[in-house]
């Protein structure tokens, strides 16, 4: 029974389920989007939900996953009705959950914090797609909210992310220098061009939407750290630190990612991570670049700027600030005719 509760988030989001309601003794079938329908809806711009959703006066029917380990009951889906007029704070999924908790059922448990898509606390499975409750708009269509797939359920929509954060910690998400004595004595400068390489990487909020939507992470993510696949979120951050021009232990990082247990080659380019990222990032691309670096098909460029000592004697050395001049790239001329020599 406990294992069923822990794994329900995965199975419930991918296939139809028979669940037992708490207040009624009848069994009712709860259907969800198929994987193909979910993929088509994400590609269709007409079906993309925005904050400017106009709600009619019809009630919103909400189905929420419920599980309390203290009650020793099997998980079930509980139905709620919410009037659009009662959503005074806004037409978002988090507003619906807050109204249910404040006005209908105070026992409902879920995580939330910033309400602006920054902290990643309110990540959950909404109508079959992982996303943030604080940025996902609601319509008058039925709403189904489940915990993140394939994670151990603590209570209701709260999942245990301890393994996820251990994997993130294991990639060593901080700058590493070859000479640690320089720390605090030198400025580690970064050019605008080198800083631009981190765009699309450092915006990750660690909400775990991408990792919990990855089948490879479902198969290999819950093992011990020596055998687990770290998942899209951790590998995106690993690539972020590999590409940082101020980091000097690239080879050590790549060797660690190339271990037989936690290799990036367990990624099969399914790209569920890219489709569901609430920040619009592309973890699949980051993992593909890590594969090229590990296989030797690509190399990290040298940093543009040198380190500057903090002592006053060398602060005015202009040579330390010079950025290497790079040859401008030749523009492609489509009218140019190529002739054999």
- Residue 172 structural domain: 162-295
Answer yes or no: is 62 within a domain: yes
**Average pLDDT value for the chain:** 79
CATH number at residue 253: 1.10.1060.10
Provide mean pLDDT across the span 290-311: 84
Answer yes or no: is 328 within a domain: no
Provide mean pLDDT across the span 182-191: 79
Chain centre to alpha carbon of residue 291? 20
Crossing angle for the helix pair 162-170 and 231-243, to the nearest 10 degrees: 20
Provide mean pLDDT across the span 318-336: 51
Using pLDDT thresholds of 50, 70 and 90, give the confidence band for residue 89: low
In the prediction, which pLDDT does 5 show?
46
Token pair in block for residue 306: 């040198």
- Total domains in the chain come to 2
Same domain, yes or no: 46 and 149? yes
Q: Which helix (H) or strand (E) holds 30?
A: strand 27-30
Using pLDDT thresholds of 50, 70 and 90, give the confidence band for residue 311: low
Answer yes or no: is 330 within a domain: no
Inform me whether the pLDDT recorded for 159 exceeds 90: yes
Q: Which of 102, 130, 159 is the last residue of a domain?
A: 159
Same domain, yes or no: 193 and 290? yes
**Residue from 98, 95, 91 nearest 53 by CA:** 91
Inform me whether the pLDDT recorded for 187 exceeds 90: no
Answer yes or no: is 215 within a domain: yes
Answer yes or no: is 64 within a domain: yes
By mean pLDDT, which of 22-31, 144-153, 242-251, 305-314 is the weakest?
22-31
More confident residue, 305 or 280: 280
Q: What is the three-class DSSP state of 123?
A: strand
**Token pair 């009705």: residue:** 81
Same domain, yes or no: 148 and 24? yes
Q: Which of 295, 315, 333 is the last residue of a domain?
A: 295
Using pLDDT thresholds of 50, 70 and 90, give the confidence band for residue 19: very low
Same domain, yes or no: 137 and 177? no
Inform me whether the pLDDT recorded for 113 exceeds 90: yes
**Residue from 239, 232, 326, 219 nearest 284 by CA:** 232
Same domain, yes or no: 93 and 136? yes
Torsion of the alpha carbons at 336, 338, 339 and 341, rounded to the nearest 10 = 110
Same domain, yes or no: 118 and 176? no
Answer yes or no: is 323 within a domain: no
Same domain, yes or no: 144 and 24? yes
Provide mean pLDDT across the span 100-117: 94
Which among 54-68, 90-104, 220-234, 296-310 has the top mean pLDDT? 90-104
Same domain, yes or no: 135 and 170? no
Same domain, yes or no: 72 and 213? no
Inform me whether the pLDDT recorded for 321 exceeds 60: no
Same domain, yes or no: 203 and 73? no
- Percent residues over pLDDT 90 in the chain: 53
Total length of the chain: 341
Q: Which residues contact 158 (CB under 8 A, 6 or more apart)?
A: 109, 110, 111, 147
CATH number at residue 123: 3.10.20.30
**Residue from 324, 169, 301, 170 nearest 242 by CA:** 301
Answer yes or no: is 318 within a domain: no
Same domain, yes or no: 21 and 97? yes
Inform me whether the pLDDT recorded for 340 exceeds 60: no
Same domain, yes or no: 7 and 155? yes
**Token pair 């630190």: residue:** 241
Answer yes or no: is 302 within a domain: no
**In this structure, are residues 82 and 64 in contact, taking their beta carbons and an 8 Å threshold?**
no
In the prediction, which pLDDT does 195 show?
94
Q: Which of 108, 136, 159 is the last residue of a domain?
A: 159
Inform me whether the pLDDT recorded for 221 exceeds 90: no
In the prediction, which pLDDT does 23 show?
41
């Amino acid at each position: 029974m406990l294992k069923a509760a822990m794994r329900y988030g995965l199975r419930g989001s991918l296939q139809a389920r028979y669940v037992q309601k708490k207040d009624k003794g009848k069994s009712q079938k709860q259907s969800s989007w198929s994987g193909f329908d979910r993929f088509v809806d994400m590609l269709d711009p007409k079906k993309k939900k925005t904050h400017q959703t106009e709600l009619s006066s019809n009630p919103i029917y909400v189905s929420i996953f419920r599980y309390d380990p203290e009650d020793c009951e099997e998980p079930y889906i509980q139905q709620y009705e919410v009037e659009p007029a009662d959503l005074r704070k806004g037409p978002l999924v988090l507003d619906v959950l807050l109204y249910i908790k404040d006005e209908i059922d105070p026992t409902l448990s879920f995580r939330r914090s910033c309400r602006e898509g920054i902290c990643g606390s309110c990540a959950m499975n909404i109508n079959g797609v992982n996303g943030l409750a604080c940025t996902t708009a609601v319509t008058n269509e039925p709403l189904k909210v489940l915990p993140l797939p394939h994670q151990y359920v603590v209570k209701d929509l709260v999942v245990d992310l301890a393994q996820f954060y251990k994997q993130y910690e294991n990639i060593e998400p901080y700058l590493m220098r070859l000479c640690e004595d320089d720390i605090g004595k030198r400025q580690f400068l970064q050019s605008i061009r080198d800083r631009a390489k981190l765009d699309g990487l450092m915006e990750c909020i660690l909400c775990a939407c991408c990792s919990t939507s990855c089948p490879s992470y479902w198969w290999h993510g819950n093992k011990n750290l020596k055998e687990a696949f770290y998942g899209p979120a951790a590998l995106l951050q690993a690539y972020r630190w590999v590409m940082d021009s101020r980091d000097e232990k690239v080879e050590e990082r790549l060797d660690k990612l190339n271990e037989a247990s936690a290799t990036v080659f367990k990624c099969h380019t399914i790209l569920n991570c890219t489709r569901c990222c609430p920040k619009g990032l592309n973890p699949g691309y980051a993992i593909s670049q890590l594969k090229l670096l590990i296989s030797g098909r690509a190399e990290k460029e040298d940093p543009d700027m040198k380190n500057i000592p903090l002592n006053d004697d060398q602060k005015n050395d202009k040579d330390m600030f010079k950025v290497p001049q790079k040859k401008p790239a030749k523009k492609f001329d489509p009218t140019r005719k190529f002739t054999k020599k």
